[in-house]
Amino acid sequence: MTWRFALFFLAFSFTGSAYGQANIGFRTDGTGRYLDAKPPTQWGPNKNVVWNIKLTQSNAIPVILGDKLFTCAEPCVLICVNKADGKILWQGESSYKELVLSDKEKEQFESERKIADGLSKQQSVINKEADAIRKLLKTEKATKEDAEKKLDALKPQTEKIKAERAKLTTLNRYLEPGKGAGGYHGTGGYSSATPVTDGKRIYVIFGNGLAACYDLDGKRLWLKLIEHPTVAYGHGASPVLVKDKLLVHFSDLVALNTADGSEAWRAKIEPNHGTAMPTRIGGEDVVIHPQGMVVRVADGAILAKGLGSTGPNSPLIQDGKVFFVAGQLRGYNLPTTADFPAKWEPLWKSTNLKGGGYWFPSPIFHDGLIYGLSASSIFSVADAQTGKLVYDQRLEFGGGESYPSITLAGKYLYVSSDNGTTIILEPGREHKEIARNSLETFRSSLVFEGRRMYVRTTKGLWCIGE
């Protein structure tokens, strides 16, 4: 559930970025750094607000492209906003009712729906019988032993109905998952994944298993059902764009052809909430997965595994190195050869970090130091050359959990809690707080451009600037 960004102009270049090409997506260029930004260090609901619009919940990180800003909203909506004044230019929803089924699929769907209705009636009869048995037990008209025997006798019938339901493959695929399904959780909703753009198109996915592509004027070019998500606590991993492939990870890691959304390949990799990061190794396009796998973009081949784990955040790729930060800190030099299996030599022995449980925020690498943050708000600074801890400190936000990724804007670090509080720190080997500000609840990551900062809260979108 890590769930996360900034600017770039229409003629943009991400030299040295994780993406290695002109794509704007998760954490903008994958690093979360905005070195040329000069945003305000003071803000609030009534201070330094340029504009604010009300929107339904989303944890997706805003994506800025020229004079447009893209964000998401519940239930499964992509929204294009005029960056200058916050006016909504267009929006498009991705729902199952808009999927185009073949005549054969429609016929099969309706046939299986009737079968499902019959199975539901059978299950209802079983449920009523089980309720009656439990009622007798409560009124002491049946012994516990007798009740358990009768309830156990009903279990094979229920299992048989489940098995029959599993055979309804067309219905199971095209019936939109409910809010109790794997792709949904109240904290993240369906709209936590960050869109990605190549400057000509915008690609988006949602926790209901759908992926869509739009042109910049809001015309939807394609809509595809990939599969129902299976990860617990809702879907959070953002799509990754590498040349003509869009990588999405609901159950399997799947590469879509960007031209039409058709499936190019599929890799059996367990999903989680972190977003894979693209890079190049020896001339090969690869993504480094939060579970420590290296996957070739051309065909989905797994080239390396077991490098580390980031849990619900993402690997950090910068300056020819990759870091995994979540309870442990691991680092590697990226191999320089495309001969696989390549040799992955660790930079140093892994370092244990304080802050048990989840590590939602993705880390920052800057001036030789790695900055990490646990969900429990323990801030850790480590030397990237040696892997040794420089210092750690619990940040006092006054409540909440740390979901937003750490960002660097200009000369300061911005570290936030989901209670709306952001602490501004000076990077370095000593802890130095510059300022702290509060807004409303947000789990997205801050985005910067010039003298402005954009915040996607759970209730809307804010533009902050002096």
On whether the CB atoms of residues 40 and 287 are closer than 8 A, the answer is no
Low-confidence ranges of the chain (pLDDT < 70): 1-22, 180-181, 338, 340-342
Q: Looking at the structure, tell me whether residues 142 and 203 fall in a common domain.
A: no
Domain assignment present for 461: yes
The tally of domains found in the chain comes to: 2
Looking at 142, 174, 206, the residue that finishes a domain is 174
Q: Looking at the structure, tell me whether residues 216 and 357 fall in a common domain.
A: yes
Q: Looking at the structure, tell me whether residues 196 and 341 fall in a common domain.
A: yes
Q: What is the pLDDT of residue 231?
A: 87
Q: Looking at the structure, tell me whether residues 141 and 38 fall in a common domain.
A: no
Give residue-wise pLDDT tens across range 251-280.
999 999 999 999 999 999 999 899 999 999
Q: What is the pLDDT of residue 374?
A: 97
Closest CA to 158 of 112, 127, 132: 127
Q: What is the pLDDT of residue 340?
A: 67
Q: What is the pLDDT of residue 136?
A: 84
Q: Looking at the structure, tell me whether residues 149 and 293 fall in a common domain.
A: no
Backbone angles phi, psi at 170, to 5 degrees: -70, -45
Give residue-wise pLDDT tens across range 401-444.
999 999 999 999 999 999 999 999 999 999 999 999 999 999 99
Domain assignment present for 392: yes
Q: What is the pLDDT of residue 446?
A: 98
For residue 238, the Cα-to-chain-centroid distance in whole angstroms is 4
Domain encompassing residue 148: 98-174
Beta partners for residue 328, in sequence order:
326, 352
Domain assignment present for 15: no
Q: Looking at the structure, tell me whether residues 260 and 366 fall in a common domain.
A: yes
Domain assignment present for 11: no
Q: Looking at the structure, tell me whether residues 51 and 63 fall in a common domain.
A: yes
Q: Looking at the structure, tell me whether residues 107 and 89 fall in a common domain.
A: no
Q: What is the pLDDT of residue 22?
A: 64
Q: Looking at the structure, tell me whether residues 300 and 258 fall in a common domain.
A: yes
Looking at 174, 204, 234, the residue that finishes a domain is 174
Residues 6 or more apart from 127 whose CB is under 8 A from it? Answer: none
On whether the CB atoms of residues 294 and 307 are closer than 8 A, the answer is yes
Q: Looking at the structure, tell me whether residues 364 and 437 fall in a common domain.
A: yes
* CATH code for the domain of 338: 2.130.10.10
Q: What is the pLDDT of residue 177?
A: 82
Q: Looking at the structure, tell me whether residues 80 and 122 fall in a common domain.
A: no
Domain assignment present for 60: yes
Looking at 174, 209, 229, the residue that finishes a domain is 174
